[in-house]
Copies of this chain bind each other. A is one copy, B any other.
Amino acid sequence: MKKIGIADTTFARVDMARYAVKALQARGTGYRLLRRTVPGIKDLPVACRRMFLEDGADLCLALGMPGKAEYDKTCAHEASLGLLFTSVLEAKPIVECFVFEGEADGPKELERLAQRRAEEHAENAWSMLFRPEDLTRRAGTGLRQGFADAGAARRTR
Residues of A that sit less than 8 Å from B by CB: 8-18, 35-39, 42-43, 45-47, 49-50, 53-54, 65, 67, 71, 73-75, 77-89, 91-96, 100, 107-108, 110-111, 114, 121, 124, 128, 132, 135-136, 138-145, 150-155, 157
CB–CB B91/A15 < 8 A: no
CB–CB B138/A37 < 8 A: yes
CA distance A108 to B54 in the complex (A): 44
Q: Which of B67, B82, B145 is close to A39, meaning CB atoms less than 8 Å apart?
A: B145
Q: How many whole Å from A149's CB to the nearest CB in chain B?
A: 9
CA distance A32 to B124 in the complex (A): 27
CA distance A15 to B150 in the complex (A): 14
CA distance A140 to B39 in the complex (A): 10
